[in-house]
Chains A and B, each alone.
Chain A
Amino acid sequence: MIEFHQVFKRYEGGHEALKGVSFGLPRGEMAFLTGHSGAGKSTLLKLIALMERPTRGQIILDDIDISNVKDRQIPYHRRKIGMIFQDHRLLYDRSVYDNVALPLIIAGVSDRDIPKRVRAALDKVGLLNKERQLPIQLSGGEQQRVGIARAVVNKPPLLLADEPTGNLDPELSEDIMNLFAQFNQVGVSVLIASHDLGLIARMKHPVIALKEGRTIRNELAEVDFA
């Protein structure tokens, strides 16, 4: 699903966030990305979503070399990826339902399909009874579930999550992780950046550990797909 070949990223100002990262995430696999803050986890996810472009190296997503994706095709590229953030990034002036419906409206899904799909997504995250509420009326864990529902409503083949449990207590964190595992079981590829090492260890999925922009542990090494 994702292949990184010797990817470097240097930001303007000289900071080198990634220094030659290579790995492959097979289709339908779920994996964790760990490392201290500043190790390059977020940069790696941003490169996949084309929020940043790599300085050097090749990234392949869904069999497409994403350096060939032109700026104006980026929206269509992002529709293949469901993204989840630590700070949820919800629209706080719109209801839970409207937040989840947003990717469908953007993609141009027909009116008659939208309610069905929004409710299916909310059902999966267990928030079907809160669709009329505003995000601010929900707890942190519930807001994160809204973010997940929004990420999966379009049935993207890949989910990317950046510290999805960063602000949650351990019990809620485990719920959220199990939710990701459920999506993975129906075939969605999942890559989660997290520094919750205990939780990661219990989940028994491949791990890539980053330190100062290099992989120090790589259970998805390039040899797996080369």
Chain B
Amino acid sequence: MSEVKSKTKRSSATSYKISFRDRFNTALKLHKENSLQTLLDILRQPTNSLMTILVLAIALALPSAFYLFMTNAKAVSQSWDGGVKISVYLQDDATEKQAQELLTQLNLRPQFEQVTFVSKDDALSEFKEYSGIGDAISYLDKNPLPFAITLTPTSSFADPKSLESLAQELTSLALVDKAKLDSDWIKKYNSILTISEQIATFVSLMLALGVLLIVGNTIRLAILNRRDEIQVIKLVGATDAFIRRPFLYTGLWYGLIAALLAALMVNIVFVLLKQSTSQLAQLYSSEFSLLGLAPSFTLSLLVIGSLLGLIGAWVSVRKHLKDINPQ
């Protein structure tokens, strides 16, 4: 009897302990199985998961669309930056001769690519043509407009800072009333862009939080659905990691599939918009063409989507698995 006992003791001691290599291989195998199984589960029950995935996809598509919009808006403003001009308005009492002298001086400067003289008459006729109040102006007995010179800086002086200092320097010249950058509205445009960017970032963060919560809630329901199964598996010695893994993969797949759908949605919208924007650009005789989602952005969208799914599932699993204990 004692012989039997010692024999069984030995065999029992080895039976429920597994070598590290076996355990490692099994873990690897479980990862493969869990990932495949959960993916198939999602694809096999599209009615269950479709709604969730669509909501997630929309929540991911919106920030991507924001991003695409911002990229294009910035590209538009950059294409303008090259064409900035400085308008120098002379003082009212400056004579035409003085104006011509200044023109010659400025022409000698290396900063300017092109220097154009705008006579009072030219300015007035131009104003009449474009202001829409031409008739009213003809009642004036005297031309109220000053002489003006339009300067186009060379490209090395076209950055906002040098333009600003050029304008200041020109204003300080004796004959000059003021020098005005026609890039002012570009600055306004850019600051509106900055604000929009901040709003977009904020909204995107909220949507990311939404994705976390949606995935978390979906996983919570999945856990509650499989409550009995989890209890049984815990009874036969499953670790938390073992129970957690399929749920984490489910979250990961939700995020990844939703991100793929989001990229698809944004690309569809892009194709639809591309034509109308190129028509618009033609009207402005601009070379601008709409930029699509860069591959690197699409890739990071997929990574972020997967990560959000994984984190959402992780938070939910941590919170809810603890509460399920075998009775």
In the bound complex, do residue A108 and residue B27 qualify as a contact, i.e. CB atoms below 8 Å apart? yes
Interfacial residues of chain B within 132-160, with CB under 8 A of chain A in the complex: none
CA distance A111 to B234 in the complex (A): 21
Name the CB-closest residue of B to A89: B232
- A11 to chain B minimum Cβ distance, whole angstroms, is 12
A75 part of interface (Cβ distance < 8 Å): yes
Secondary structure class of chain A's binding surface, majority of residues: loop
Interface pick from B3-11, B74-82, B164-172, B269-277:
B3-11
A22 part of interface (Cβ distance < 8 Å): no
The 8 Å CB contact of B26, one of A49, A83, A110, A188, is A110
A-B Cβ contacts below 8 A, count = 94
A90 part of interface (Cβ distance < 8 Å): yes
Contact A76/B22 with A27-B9, A155-B16, A156-B16 known, Cβ cut-off 8 Å: no
How large, as a class, is the contact surface on chain B?
A: 20 to 34
- B36 to chain A minimum Cβ distance, whole angstroms, is 15
In the bound complex, do residue B232 and residue A91 qualify as a contact, i.e. CB atoms below 8 Å apart? yes
Per-residue contact bits, chain A 97-130, to B (CB 8 Å; 1 contact, 0 not) = 0000011011111110000000000000000000
- A121 to chain B minimum Cβ distance, whole angstroms, is 12
Contact A79/B232 with A27-B5, A109-B22, A154-B16 known, Cβ cut-off 8 Å: no
In the bound complex, do residue B238 and residue A75 qualify as a contact, i.e. CB atoms below 8 Å apart? yes
In the bound complex, do residue A91 and residue B234 qualify as a contact, i.e. CB atoms below 8 Å apart? no
CA distance A77 to B237 in the complex (A): 7
Name the CB-closest residue of B to A76: B237
Name the CB-closest residue of A to B30: A105
Give the residue among B1, B30, B237 with the most A Cβ atoms within 10 A: B237
CA distance A98 to B27 in the complex (A): 18
Which A residues are in CB contact (< 8 Å) with B325?
51
In the bound complex, do residue A79 and residue B9 qualify as a contact, i.e. CB atoms below 8 Å apart? no
Name the CB-closest residue of A to B24: A108
Which B residues are in CB contact (< 8 Å) with A156?
12, 15-16
Which A residues are in CB contact (< 8 Å) with B327?
51
Which B residues are in CB contact (< 8 Å) with A57?
none
- B298 to chain A minimum Cβ distance, whole angstroms, is 37
Per-residue contact bits, chain A 45-56, to B (CB 8 Å; 1 contact, 0 not) = 000010100000
Residues of A in contact (CB 8 Å), total 32
Interfacial residues of chain B within 1-52, with CB under 8 A of chain A in the complex: 1, 4-5, 7-9, 11-13, 15-16, 18, 22-23, 25-27, 29-30
Which A residues are in CB contact (< 8 Å) with B174?
none
In the bound complex, do residue B18 and residue A109 qualify as a contact, i.e. CB atoms below 8 Å apart? yes
Which A residues are in CB contact (< 8 Å) with B15?
154-156
Per-residue contact bits, chain B 296-327, to A (CB 8 Å; 1 contact, 0 not) = 00000000000000000000000000000111
Which B residues are in CB contact (< 8 Å) with A80?
16
Which A residues are in CB contact (< 8 Å) with B13?
157
Which B residues are in CB contact (< 8 Å) with A103?
236-237
A187 part of interface (Cβ distance < 8 Å): yes
Contact A187/B26 with A51-B326, A83-B235, A103-B237 known, Cβ cut-off 8 Å: no
A223 part of interface (Cβ distance < 8 Å): no
Which A residues are in CB contact (< 8 Å) with B30?
105
Give the residue among B15, B22, B234 with the most A Cβ atoms within 10 A: B15
18 A-B pairs whose Cβ atoms sit less than 8 Å apart in the complex: A27-B9, A28-B1, A51-B326, A51-B327, A78-B236, A89-B232, A91-B229, A106-B238, A106-B239, A107-B18, A111-B26, A155-B12, A156-B12, A187-B7, A187-B8, A187-B11, A187-B12, A188-B12
* Apart from A49-B235, A155-B15, A156-B12, 12 more pairs, CB < 8 Å: A51-B325, A76-B237, A77-B237, A80-B16, A90-B232, A106-B236, A108-B23, A108-B27, A110-B25, A156-B16, A186-B8, A187-B7
Give residues in B with beta carbon < 8 Å to A: 1, 4-5, 7-9, 11-13, 15-16, 18, 22-23, 25-27, 29-30, 229, 231-240, 242, 325-327
